[in-house]
């Protein structure tokens, strides 16, 4: 079964130049995103499976599948552990 990720409720996103800021309105935790992270965050509105996010990253940032999988996995795990997204089935 594919891993599916959805944005948590009450998360505010603001782009500032090439970067972005996530703010959890319930806990006041924030997460700073670089350009790549901001683009992936926006992609999460339509792409929810890990495999889709890897393919998005591979195509848009011109990196290998292995590099995309490694980097997306780290990024997604950080967002899950911080509560900004959650994994569903």
What residues have CB less than 8 Å from 69, skipping those under 6 apart?
54
Cα 40 from Cα 47, distance rounded (Å): 9
- Summarised one tens digit per residue, pLDDT across range 15-50 is 999 999 999 999 999 999 999 999 999 999 999 999
- What does pTM read for this prediction? 0.92
* Dist CA 47 CA 66 (whole Å): 19
Task: Return the number of other C-beta atoms located less than 10 Å from residue 41's C-beta.
Answer: 21
Does residue 1 lie in a domain region?
no
DSSP element (H, E) containing 79? helix 65-82
Q: Reply yes or no on whether the pLDDT at 12 is more than 90.
A: yes
In a domain, 3, yes or no: no
Number of domains in the chain: 1
Residue 47, domain extent: 8-84
């Amino acid at each position: 079964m594919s891993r599916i990720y959805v944005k948590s409720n009450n998360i505010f996103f603001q782009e500032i130049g090439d970067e972005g800021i996530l703010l959890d309105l319930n806990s006041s935790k924030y997460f700073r995103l670089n350009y790549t992270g901001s683009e992936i965050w926006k992609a999460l509105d339509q792409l929810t499976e890990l495999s889709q996010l890897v393919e998005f990253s591979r195509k848009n940032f011109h990196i290998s599948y292995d590099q995309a999988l490694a980097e997306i996995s780290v990024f997604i795990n950080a967002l899950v552990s911080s509560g900004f997204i959650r994994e569903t089935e």
